[in-house]
Structures are given as structure tokens and as C-alpha cells.
Amino acid sequence: MGFDSFWDFALRIWASAPARERLLHWQENHDVDVILALFALWYPGGIRKHNWEALMQAAASWRDRTTARVRALRRRLKPEGPHQPNRAALYTATKALEVTCERTAAMRLFKSALDLGDPAATPDLTRRLQLLFPALPVTEIRDGIPELTQAGCT
């Protein structure tokens, strides 16, 4: 169980259009940190509630200081027409930087979880997502878990 395993899982889910749309819906409508959600779905062991809370705070700190700022810049740079080639190149570069920020966030989560987790415990994904994202409706979680975990297995 290494970082590459998690990152591969995250990329497989992101490659699935329905799974990606669900995650983006959660992000935009329920303030879900996508990397933290993907990590919560992937992490095979158990982590105590207070340790998930510590991971959540660390993820939020990183997101607020880096990823959210880069994402906001990327959104402002989105080309609005075909006559903006320089802006399109800058948008593409900013999008790549945003992915790098997300990958760094994922590395930080993975590294922190190594010290906090109990690999023998069996995770309850519904409970885990409810803890991390209390504003996310339980129906969204129950509908989303099968879709997201199946996308990560392909």
C-alpha cells in the first residue's frame, strides 16, 4: 500500500465522467475536498475519529493556502473565445499547477495517515464520509460510494 496505489486510484476515478461529475457536484454544492474524499474512499484501514479530524484540518489548511488560490486563478483565466491563445496557454499551465497542488495534498494525506492508521481495521465508508463532510447528505453518500468505488476498480 504505497502512495502510487492511492494516486492511481484517484486518477482512475477522475477518468470516469460520472464519478468526476459527482465529485465536482459535491465540491461545488457541499464544500467537499475532492482529494480528501478520494483518500477516504481509498484508505483501506481504519483511522480514529480524532485522527480523521486532524487529517481534515491539515487538508483544509493546505487547500486554503495553495490549491484554492490556484483554482481561483485558473477559473479567472478560462478563455472565453478562440481569439485568446496566450490566455489559453496560461490557463493550461495553471490547470497543471492545480493538479500538482492536488497531488501534493494527496502526498501529505498519505504520509500523515501512515502514522495514524490501523491497517487491520475495516473501514465504514459511509460513516467516514459523514464525519469528514457533515454537510454532504447521506443520500449523496450512499448513491456516490458504489459509483466512485467501482470507477476506482476499473
Q: pLDDT tens string for the chain (154 positions)?
A: 789 999 999 999 999 999 999 999 999 999 999 999 999 999 888 888 888 888 999 999 999 999 999 999 998 888 776 666 678 889 999 999 999 999 999 999 999 888 776 766 778 899 999 999 999 999 999 999 998 988 877 5
pTM of the predicted structure, to 2 decimals: 0.84
Count of domains observed in the chain: 1
Plot region of 118 (φ>0 → left; ψ -120 to 50 → alpha; else → beta): beta
53: which strand partners? none
Render the burial of 93-126: b for 16+ CB within 10 Å, e for the rest: ebeebbeebbeebbebbbebbeeebeeeeebebe
Instruction: Please state the φ and ψ torsions of residue 90, each to the nearest 5 degrees.
Output: -65, -40
Domain range for residue 136? 3-153
